[in-house]
Structure 1
Amino acid sequence: MRFSCAAIFAAHLVVATALALAPTRAAAQDVTLTSRDGGVEIAGNLLGFDGQFYRVETAYGELTVDGTGVLCEGPGCPDLEAYVAEIAISGASSVGEVLLPSLIEGFALRSGYKIARSDAGAGQVEYLLSDSGSGEAAARFLIHSTNTDEGFADLLANETDIVMSLREVRPDEASRAWEAGMGDLRGPGRARVLALDALVPIVAPGHPLTEVTLTDLAGIFSGRIVNWSDLGGPDAPISTYLRDPAAGLSQAAEDRLLGPIRATLRPDVIRHVSNRALVRAVMTDPFGIALTTAADTGNAKQLALSGECGFSIPATRRNAKTEDYPLTAPVFLYTPVRRLPRVGREFYAYLSTPAAQLVIRRAGFIDQMAEEIPVADQGDRFANAISQAGEETGLEDLQRMVATLSPLRRLTVSFRFEQGSSALDAQSRSNIRLLADALEAGEYDGRRLLFVGFSDGQGPAQSNRQIALRRAESVRRAILSAAETLDPARITLEAEAFGEAMPMACDDSAWGRQVNRRVEVWVR
């Protein structure tokens, strides 16, 4: 290999971006890239080609090279005339078996492609998109449906472009991805909330219980509660069911349910390798209970979540969108710092369109389209505010809240915070971008948006209101910062706070307090 210091410098001049390229599915092969004037020669293994940029592993590390400035020679060189974009997607089976295929088909239909589906074996399905006129292949999507752990493992092995995940990336996975040159998977733009789901407890039809408190549900799955009689049910031992340990559903259940109380899963929980098997097991066990997603409950009976103070919150679409339901579960797509092929980038942009949101809803998941909820549909919330008002929340405070909010409508876009932190949670971070995009697109031009802060009931009411107001102001500033092209004159953005005046859940648990600490968005 011929490579002088000057050549290295020149090579960096043709590096169009620091972003890596999507990996090819074939094994890396030798290539030599030569600048058109013959002054620069780069030799190494071709790791990826997206139709425009080469990614080459060399003795000096990985280089990303603009293909328009070089000639390629060697067995690894792609056929530029017959190039077909390849996008590999791997991870959670509940997403890969239903949601992603529906979205790819919707994208193909909207973009004018013909689409052909074929079984690639071992849990893999291939979708070939072809030009509707010429019939020439344009892109190949390969979906590998396994589990969340396998999705991240495929990413670290350079075998996939996108990870389907039912949980956030683990610190060790993010660390290894960083070391592999894939960027910070926890950074802005690396994680995308594709859709929403909810973790729901299910029992067999005919089970006497209709709801369960989060405290008791955690007690069941941690082994503290082992008999249904402790919950007012029959005198029978409780059998528990959950997905296999590598499944994102199982990991999310442990994170969201047991994490806040630092409990561990009971050792005798019965595991299943698919959501369908999980539901079937509960359906045939009158004394069993499982945690699954709202999209995969089959004919089992869902239990609402309640609290000691009388709240009962079912896993409805609206409650999940607003995160009023405490076990809302975002569906994530993770991408490393890689340049996807053009078709892949177009597909990724399609995912945020209203058309894609309709596909998400039809597939049984919860879309992220903002809805406006009139005050008339929120009677239960205001009734709870009155019934649960603490000693420091007087009639004057409640009247001020009602007078302020009655002329407005609540958006389903809400903002909540990590456990014990002032940092926004994953769904809320995604909501910043969603609302900013809507503002930039002019969807709320001429209207007034009010960011309203609420708190839990721990501590003095006045202090709680001040904390809630600071959070509301923080979210308002984050939206303005994200909406870079927004003309502030087109819209009014304000902040207000009512502290602990309208709880959404009981303050008797860590989950309830986390639900109550929120910033809502109201619009007029």
Structure 2
Amino acid sequence: MTRLPCLLLFTLSATAAPLPAVQVRGSPALSPLMQRAAEDYMAREPGSSVVVATGSSAFGLKSLLDGNADIAMVHGALPAALRTSLDGGGRATRRIVAGYQALLPVVSPDNPLSDIDLPRLRAVFAGAIADWRELGGAPGAITVLLAPPVGATGQAWRDAVLGSRGRFSPHGLLVSERDWAAQLAGHPGAIAIVTADELGPGLKPLTLSGQRADIESVRAGRYPLRIPLLLVVPETPAPQSAGFIRYLEQRLRQDGGRR
């Protein structure tokens, strides 16, 4: 039996005979959104239940393929291997964009750089630009800090930063602890890319060609460095999940895709 890293069960007692639970599995990046949606939906629909299990995007997609999930939560574009399995498995699916997660380049607060364009940022992370002097700063080596790019999330992160065919600098420094403020304090000449949730004191975010990563600019695509948050569902969902999927789509339309 597969062990679920985290299992959250939402139920609502009712006099009506309960429907089978809607199974939602996948990336924790979508978990808060789905938890709120599950609670609200069950308050509206007595007798319904929704189970949200978080693990990884691959976990959610494989569960959907195996028939053990009604909805897969996916952080980033679908991995090629799983996309092939979904498209060729005889079970038609569709993707619902639930929102986007912004990625922010950050440097030490003492670094004079405040803005960079996406081509130069990609060149830095690919190793083609290796000295701050090439970005208008004082001479000094640029240290590229990288979290281990593993799984579907790592693939999505790499694609957003470098493009689908890009490769990180061979001189990049892999860090196991994602305490980015401490990492930058220990490497004053470093640069990293963090999610909006990881931004905090000790990190100076750079704008991209003058564009800040605010909610509206990320949603509209004016801020270019973002990862999609997807819900993958069967083209013809099971009866117990069809109503919840319709509710989700209505909720997302009313929300305007904000995330």
TM range (shorter): 0.7 to 0.9
Distance 1:303 1:355 in 2: 29
Distance 2:225 2:54 in 1: 27
Aligned to 2:189: 287
Distance 1:175 1:302 in 2: 37
Aligned to 2:10: none
Q: Residue 52 of structure 2 is aligned with which of 142, 146, 151?
A: 142
Distance 2:69 2:251 in 1: 27
Task: Provide the aligned length of Structure 1 versus Structure 2.
Answer: 242
- Within 5 Å, which residues of 2 pair with 1:360-509? 367=258
**1:321 pairs with 2:235:** no
Aligned to 2:151: 246
Distance 1:145 1:139 in 2: 20
Offset at 1:314?
Answer: 1.6
Distance 1:325 1:355 in 2: 20
One-letter code aligned to 2:52: L
Q: Residue 232 of structure 1 is aligned with which of 107, 129, 136?
A: 136
Distance 2:147 2:246 in 1: 34
Q: Secondary structure at the match of 2:109?
A: coil
Distance 1:92 1:270 in 2: 26
Offset at 1:209?
Answer: 1.6
- Residue by residue over 1:316-375, the C-alpha shift from the partner in whole angstroms, topping out at 9 and shown as x without a partner, is 222223212222432111113442343x333322223458855x9xxxxx618xxxxxxx
Decide whether aligned partners of structure 1 residues 301 and 347 sit closer, same or farther in structure 2, where only a CA change above 3 A counts.
Answer: farther
Q: Residue 23 of structure 2 is aligned with which of 88, 113, 119?
A: 88
The percent identity for this pair of structures is 25
Q: Secondary structure at the match of 2:60?
A: helix
- Within 5 Å, which residues of 2 pair with 1:296-375? 296-299=198-201, 300-306=203-209, 312-342=210-240, 344-353=241-250, 367=258
Distance 1:298 1:321 in 2: 22
Distance 1:355 1:326 in 2: 21
Distance 1:157 1:355 in 2: 27
Aligned to 2:66: 157
**1:267 pairs with 2:170:** yes
- Residue by residue over 1:402-423, the C-alpha shift from the partner in whole angstroms, topping out at 9 and shown as x without a partner, is xxxxxxxxxxxxxxxxxxxxxx
Aligned to 1:491: none
8 Å CA contact 1:210–1:303 kept in 2: the answer is yes
One-letter code aligned to 1:143: A
Decide whether aligned partners of structure 1 residues 101 and 181 sit closer, same or farther in structure 2, where only a CA change above 3 A counts.
Answer: same
More RCO (CA 8 Å, sep 6+): 2
8 Å CA contact 1:164–1:331 kept in 2: the answer is yes
Aligned to 1:194: 98
Aligned to 2:78: 169
Decide whether aligned partners of structure 1 residues 318 and 178 sit closer, same or farther in structure 2, where only a CA change above 3 A counts.
Answer: closer
8 Å CA contact 1:241–1:270 kept in 2: the answer is yes
Offset at 1:164?
Answer: 1.6
8 Å CA contact 1:197–1:295 kept in 2: the answer is no
One-letter code aligned to 1:301: K
Q: Secondary structure at the match of 2:64?
A: helix
Decide whether aligned partners of structure 1 residues 169 and 200 sit closer, same or farther in structure 2, where only a CA change above 3 A counts.
Answer: same
- Residue by residue over 1:296-325, the C-alpha shift from the partner in whole angstroms, topping out at 9 and shown as x without a partner, is 42343221112xxxxx22222222232122
- Residue by residue over 1:404-449, the C-alpha shift from the partner in whole angstroms, topping out at 9 and shown as x without a partner, is xxxxxxxxxxxxxxxxxxxxxxxxxxxxxxxxxxxxxxxxxxxxxx
8 Å CA contact 2:112–2:137 kept in 1: the answer is yes
TM-score when normalising by structure 2: 0.76
8 Å CA contact 2:73–2:232 kept in 1: the answer is yes
One-letter code aligned to 1:144: T
One-letter code aligned to 2:149: D
- Rg (Cα) greater in structure: 1
The more displaced of 85-94 and 190-199 is: 85-94
Distance 1:108 1:271 in 2: 43
Offset at 1:212?
Answer: 1.2
Supply the RMSD in Å over aligned alpha carbons.
Answer: 3.3
Offset at 1:86?
Answer: 2.0
Aligned to 1:217: 121
Distance 1:346 1:273 in 2: 42
Q: Secondary structure at the match of 2:137?
A: coil
Aligned to 1:423: none
One-letter code aligned to 1:142: V
**1:103 pairs with 2:34:** no
TM-score when normalising by structure 1: 0.41
Distance 2:251 2:237 in 1: 25
